Amino acid sequence: MSMLDMVDKVEALMMDLGARARLAARALATAPTEAKDAALRAMAAAVAADLPAILAANAEDLARAREAGLAPSFIDRLTLTETRVAAIAEALREVATLPDPVGATIADWQRPNGLRIRRVRTPLGVVGVIYESRPNVTADAGALCLKAGNAVILRGGSDSAKSSAAIHASLQKGLAAAGLPVDAIQLVHVSDRAAVGHMLAGLGGAVDVIVPRGGRSLVERVQAEARVPVFAHLEGLCHLYVDGAADLGMAVSLAVNAKMRRTGICGAAETLLVDRACAATHLAPILAALAEAGCEIRGDADTRDLYPQALSASEADWRTEYLDAILSVAVVDGVEGAIRHIERYSSHHTEAIVTEDAAAAERFLNGIDSAILLHNASTQFADGGEFGFGGEIGIATGKMHARGPVGVEQLTSFNYRVLGTGQTRP
C-alpha cells in the first residue's frame, strides 16, 4: 500500500468512527437511565469476568515497555494487577449509582402570557478523549460519557494499546448485554498519529468536544490544533497565600498538605505567598515544617532573610509547575500583593488563602479569576471526587461551559422546552 493510500485509509476509518458515534449518540440521548445503569453494571461484570484476558494483554504491553527501557514510573502507571482491575470494575459500578443528569430541569419559570419555559439538561453528543498510557482511563472516560448520554471515541497511548483494547472489549460486551449500541464507546485501534489530527479537526462535525488526559505536551498539541472545544488544563500552577491574619497552626498544616500530600497532582501547591505582616512570625515555622517533610525551598530575597536555609528563587520558579517536592516562596504585601502575584503567574486552576479575616478572604475570592478558590482548606481538594461529583474526566481551566472538575453533569448541554396553550406572538 502506498503512503497516500495509507493516509486516505486512516482518514476514512476515522470518519467512519465519527459517523457511527453520531448515530450511537442519537440513540443514547433518549436511552432510559435504567438502560445506561444496567450497561455500566454489565460492563463491570464483564471486566471482572475478563480478568485473565486483560492481564494477558497487559503483560504484552509491559513486555514491550520493558524492552523499550521505559521509566519505572511509566511502567507503574501501565501495570494492571488483579486489585487494579477490580478497582476499574468498582469505578464502573460507582458511575451507575450517580444521578442521571440527562433530562433534569435546571430552571423552570412562567411568563406573563402563560408560556412555561423549562431549561433541561441534554447530552453534549460525541466526546473525543485523547489520553496517554493509563489503561484505566479507557473504562473511566467511557463510563462517565455514557452516563451523560454521550457517545465517546477513545484514543489511548500506543504503549497501552493491548490493555486498552482488552478493557474496551469488556465495555462493549456490557453495552450489548444492556441493549445499547456498542458504538457508544469506540476505541481508535490505528496507532497512526494522524488519527489524533482527524479527531482534533472534529471528524466532519461529528465531535462536539475533545478531552485530553495527559502531560503538558499532549494538552498543548490538542489546544493548538483542535477545531472543536476542548476541556483541559495545561497545568496546575496553584498558590497558597498565608495572610497576616492567618492562624499559624492552620497555615503550617495547610502548607504541608497542599504541597506534600501528593506532589504529582495538578492541585498540589507550587508557590507559597506569605504576607509581610506575619512573615516574621509565620514564615520560618511553615518552611521548617515543609523542609522536615522533605521539601526543597526556593525563596525570594525577603524569604531568605527570614529563612536562610532557602535556596534562591529565579523568575522561572514563579512560572514552574514542579510536580515534585519543591516549593517557591515569596513575601508579598497583603492580599493585594498576593492577588497581583497570582494574576501574573497563575495557570488559574486553584488558589487558596489562609486567614481568620473574613474581609481579606472575600477580597481574595472575588479578586482572582481561577477555576477553584479555597479559604482555609488545602489546594489538594481540587478534585471531582472531593467536590462530590463522583468521578471526573479531568479539570478544566477554560472559562467556557465546563470549569474546574468535569464530572457527568459538566459533560452535558441543555435546551429550552416551552409549553404553551396556543400562544401566538403579538
For residues 161 and 75, what is the distance between their CA atoms, to the nearest angstrom? 14
- Identify the burial level of 343 via C-beta atoms within 10 angstroms of its C-beta, where 0-12 means exposed, 13-18 middle and 19 or more buried: middle
Residue 193 three-state SS: coil
229 binds a copy of itself (CB under 8 A): yes
For residues 329 and 239, what is the distance between their CA atoms, to the nearest angstrom? 10
For residues 379 and 242, what is the distance between their CA atoms, to the nearest angstrom? 13
359 binds a copy of itself (CB under 8 A): no
| Contacts of a copy of itself in 147-206 (CB under 8 A) | none
For residues 85 and 50, what is the distance between their CA atoms, to the nearest angstrom? 10
For residues 70 and 75, what is the distance between their CA atoms, to the nearest angstrom? 7
400 binds a copy of itself (CB under 8 A): yes
Half-sphere exposure of 188 (CA within 13 A, CB side): 31
Secondary structure (DSSP) of 42-58:
HHHHHHHHTHHHHHHHH
Contact window for a copy of itself (CB under 8 A) among 84-92, 155-163, 315-323, 367-375:
367-375
Contact window for a copy of itself (CB under 8 A) among 157-165, 290-298, 306-314, 416-424:
416-424
For residues 238 to 277, the per-residue mask of contacts with a copy of itself, x marking binding by CB under 8 A and - elsewhere, is ---------x--x--xx-xx---x----------------
Q: To the nearest whole angstrom, how small is the minimum distance from the Cβ of residue 170 to a copy of itself?
A: 30
Contact window for a copy of itself (CB under 8 A) among 3-11, 40-48, 109-117, 302-310:
109-117
| Contacts of a copy of itself in 19-78 (CB under 8 A) | 26, 29-30
Lateral strand order in the sheet of 126-131 = 185-187, 151-155, 126-131, 209-213
Q: To the nearest whole angstrom, how small is the minimum distance from the Cβ of residue 48 to a copy of itself?
A: 28
Contact window for a copy of itself (CB under 8 A) among 59-67, 74-82, 83-91, 108-116:
108-116
Do strands 326-332 and 296-299 pair parallel, antiparallel, or not at all (unpaired)?
parallel
Chain residues in the site for a copy of itself (CB under 8 A) = 26, 29-30, 103, 109, 111, 115, 117, 122, 124-125, 208-209, 229, 247, 250, 253-254, 256-257, 261, 343, 365-367, 369-378, 380-381, 386-388, 399-401, 403-404, 413-425
